[in-house]
Structures are given as structure tokens and as C-alpha cells.
Structure 1
């Protein structure tokens, strides 16, 4: 599913070195709703996931508190 997201100011984390092409981009929707769109940086025309302000704040809060600091095998 491809979604056009005009007016989104996409951002890539400053922690991303960009060398592997496995980055995500996030940006606020321009409609003033507080929603945030997320997409794969190497596939900008593929599916975009849109989160509500509350969902995004819960995710960012979890990241800051280390809830996603799990190891991968």
C-alpha cells in the first residue's frame, strides 16, 4: 500500500549512521492534529504508519525509559 504524505517534514535520527539503509523516518503531519507519520527511509513510496499524538508520546516515553533496550540474537 503506497500512501502520499505531502507536507510531512521527515526526520532521520541523528543516531543513524545511514550506511546500512535501514533507517526509519518520522515527521509530524501538517494538518495540526499532532499525529506523526513513520516510514522506511529507503522505501519512501511504500506504506506509512500514522500514530496519534498519544501513541507517539507513549512510544517516545518508552524509548527514553529504556523499555525497548532488548537484545537481539
Structure 2
């Protein structure tokens, strides 16, 4: 599901503490009743903060992060 980040008024966006200052980070925000569909997390590109935002369930995000930690996407890295 997707929307525009500008529609997620009041969302508390955050990024990894490992992100640099280049302005090309992925930011995430928990979605609450006041913001959108509960139980979802919104993702956006920090370079375009009012543009597209992807909404995923917390369960789907958790599964994705587990797969990342397990190395299931390592073949997509340039140095792999």
C-alpha cells in the first residue's frame, strides 16, 4: 500500500543512527490512528520528504528485517 508522506501528518519519522548526511536515507514512522492504518509502518526517502511513502504491516517489515539479518539479500550487493 502507498500514500504520500505529506498525508501522514504528525508522523514521527526517524532514520538509522548509521545514516550519513547525504540526504538519501530511508526513514520510517510508526502509523497511528491519527496518521493512517494502525499496525503499519511508513517508509519514505529523506531526500523527498513529502513524496511517496510505502505502508507495510509491522509483521511484513519484521519478516524483511529478519531476512536481511540472515543474509538472504547479500547477493544483491555490489561486492558480493
TM-score (norm 1): 0.80
What is the RMSD computed on CA atoms of the aligned residues?
2.1
| Bigger proportion of residues as helix | 2
**In the TM superposition, what are the counterparts of 1:1-73 in structure 2 within 5 Å?**
2-3=4-5, 4-18=7-21, 20-31=22-33, 33-69=38-74, 70-72=76-78
Q: Count the aligned residue pairs.
A: 72
Higher relative contact order, structure no. (Cα contacts within 8 Å, ≥ 6 residues apart):
2
Q: Whose strand fraction is larger, Structure 1's or Structure 2's? A: 2
Higher mean displacement: 4-13 or 41-50: 4-13
Q: TM-score, normalised by structure 2?
A: 0.74
